Amino acid sequence: MSPSRWGILVAVIVVSACNQSKIGTMESGPMRLTRGSASEFVALVPASDSDPHCEAPRSHPSGMGDQVLSLVYGQPVERRVSVGLDAEGSPVNYSDLRGDMTLPTETSGAFTSIAINFRQGFAIAMNRQGREESDKILVGIEEALSAPQFDYPEEVIERIVSTCGGGAV
Report pTM: 0.79
CA distance 127 to 86: 28
Confidence at residue 63, expressed as pLDDT on a 0 to 100 scale: 72
Measuring CA to CA, how many Å separate 18 from each of 12, 25, 99, 131? 10, 13, 28, 24
Summarised one tens digit per residue, pLDDT across range 47-94 is: 998 899 999 776 666 677 888 999 999 988 899 999 999 999 999 999
Q: CB of 19 within 8 A of CB of 35?
A: no
Summarised one tens digit per residue, pLDDT across range 118-141 is: 999 999 999 998 888 777 999 999
| Pairing state between β 31-35 and 136-140 | parallel
Confidence at residue 11, expressed as pLDDT on a 0 to 100 scale: 40
Confidence at residue 30, expressed as pLDDT on a 0 to 100 scale: 52
Residue 145 has pLDDT above 80, yes or no: yes
Quote the percentage of the chain above a pLDDT of 70. 76
| Pairing state between β 79-85 and 91-99 | antiparallel
Please count the CA atoms within 13 angstroms of the CA of 39 that sit on its side-chain side: 1
Confidence at residue 130, expressed as pLDDT on a 0 to 100 scale: 85
